[in-house]
Amino acid sequence: MHLTPWKCVLAGILLTPVTVMAQSANDGQAYCAYVTEQAQAQRDLLRTPAGLAGFTQPETGLPMQIVGGATLGLSNVKKGEITMEVAQKECTLYTTTTETQLAIQFALPTIEREALQNRLTLIDRSLASLNDLFAKTSKMVDAQNATRVMLFALQTTRIKLNADRADTQSKAGAIYVPELTDRSLKELAAEKETDEAGEQRALNKLNRQNNWDVALTVGVHQQVNPAAQGPQPYGEVTVNYNFASRAIDRHLDRAARAHDDWKKAQEGDVTRSMEALRQQLVDSIAAQENRLKALQGERDQLEKNLALVANPDTAAALDFSNQLQTTKLLLEIEAGDATFRRERLREYLARNY
């Protein structure tokens, strides 16, 4: 098929493959502004009459004439309108693709930051309980019913919890998550597929404009030598029609359908990324379940030991009870962290797949 200059320019602008990585929230707006301005320039070029000037030698033997005027094709005017439609479709597709890839890329970091925030809450709760136990033991030390060694063990646990809190805060602060859409991945992927089909239909519509044209040319002509009575106006209407139009349209329709079938069968970037993320979610859920099973075994053993010293009546029993209580606080943090992660991962998997 013959490619006119405007179509080559449009192909270079609008048919560039979309390979988007995670970028700023303004990326889509900036890209759309770029595509829109390029399309508007092409639209203005297509719908503006083109000036013409030259010399002609009539076949009737008349003297040479100078000709000047302007010409405008109806097909070009229509192409200008469709060019803006194609640009809008490309902008929509780019935005949807970017949103989908951002949602996939930052899914796990988002869950991780939420889990760390939850862990901070668990640590603060455990610190509050530990401080109560520390205050109670301090009173017993003052009353000489407990030893300072018992108090030191509680202080050591508090140091560990504060260190854990600081480390968790650092990890949460180091995770960057941009503003993400609240729509599910399956919804975004379906919309991306629809936008791709819409873009192809717009390009198909644009290509069909090459099959015909109605051009209007107006101007004046003036005999060069000898000079005649003055410039004479003239006008003409030219109709062009490609006799292969029906065959061309059939091929374009088949190409659009083939493109849709290809996209459905293609394991594209979004499809691969979604499947990789799904497998990561499944593996992470399994890891947290195994973690909870191990913690549950430790918790059962801890509860049995706590039952043995429910009412400590000696310093040794009180010391053992305090150790069990501090271990229970640490265990509750890990169990609460694992439970939150597992449930959050399950929720995300159910909502997006």
Q: Is the pTM of this model over 0.85?
A: no
pLDDT of amino acid 265: 65
**119 and 197 share a domain?**
no
The residue written with tokens 């079938």 in the block is 261
Strand ranges inside 108-250, DSSP E? 212-223, 232-241
Q: Which two tokens stand for residue 214?
A: 């109605």
Residue 288's CB is within 10 A of a number of other CB atoms, namely 21
Based on the fold, state whether residues 94 and 233 are members of the same structural domain.
Answer: yes
Task: Give the tokens for residue 13.
Answer: 């602008």
77 shares a domain with 25: yes
pLDDT number for residue 160: 93
Look at residue 12 and tell me whether its pLDDT is greater than 50: no
pLDDT of residue 15: 40
239 forms bridges with which residues in the sheet? 214
In this structure, are 68 and 131 located in the same domain?
no
C-alpha Rg value of the chain to the nearest Å: 37
pLDDT above 90: residue 338: yes
| Pair 82, 192 in one domain | yes
Give yes or no for a contact between 168 and 119, defined as CB atoms under 8 angstroms apart.
yes
Which pLDDT value is given to residue 169? Answer: 96
Q: How many domains does the chain have?
A: 2
Q: Cα separation of 69 and 54, whole Å?
A: 10
Q: Are 51 and 67 found together in one domain?
A: yes
Determine the pLDDT at residue 266: 64
Q: Which of 56, 58, 12 has its CA nearest to residue 35?
A: 12
Helix, strand or coil, per DSSP, at residue 347: helix
139 and 256 in a single domain? The answer is no
Residue 326 predicted with pLDDT over 50: yes
pLDDT tens, position by position, 225-268: 766 667 778 788 888 888 888 888 888 888 888 877 777 666 56
Last residue of a domain, one of 266, 292, 313: 266
Separation CA 175–CA 311 (nearest Å): 45
What mean pLDDT do residues 282-296 have? 96
Domain that holds residue 152: 107-177+274-352
Considering the domain architecture, whether residues 215 and 73 belong to the same structural domain is answered as: yes
Mark whether 212 and 323 lie in a shared domain. no
> To the nearest whole percent, how much of the chain has pLDDT over 70?
87
Angstrom distance (rounded) from CA 198 to CA 216? 32
**What is the structure's pLDDT at 268?**
63
CB 259 within 8 A of CB 245: no
Residues 188 and 259 placed together within one structural domain of the fold: yes
Among 207, 231, 266, identify where a domain stops. 266
How high does pLDDT run on average in the chain?
Answer: 84
Q: Which two tokens stand for residue 69?
A: 């005027």
Query: In angstroms, rounded to a whole number, what is the distance separating the alpha carbons of residues 182 and 178?
Result: 12
Answer for the pair 210, 2: CB distance below 8 angstroms, yes or no. Answer: yes
pLDDT value for 336: 96
The segment with the largest mean pLDDT, out of 75-79, 187-191, 285-289, is: 285-289
Domain boundary residue, one of 208, 243, 266: 266
Which amino acid appears at position 336 of this protein?
G
Task: Please report the pLDDT score of residue 188 as a whole number.
Answer: 93
Residue type, 278: R
Answer yes or no: do 26 and 173 share one domain: no
Residues 61 and 43 in one domain: yes
- pLDDT at residue 23 greater than cutoff 90: no
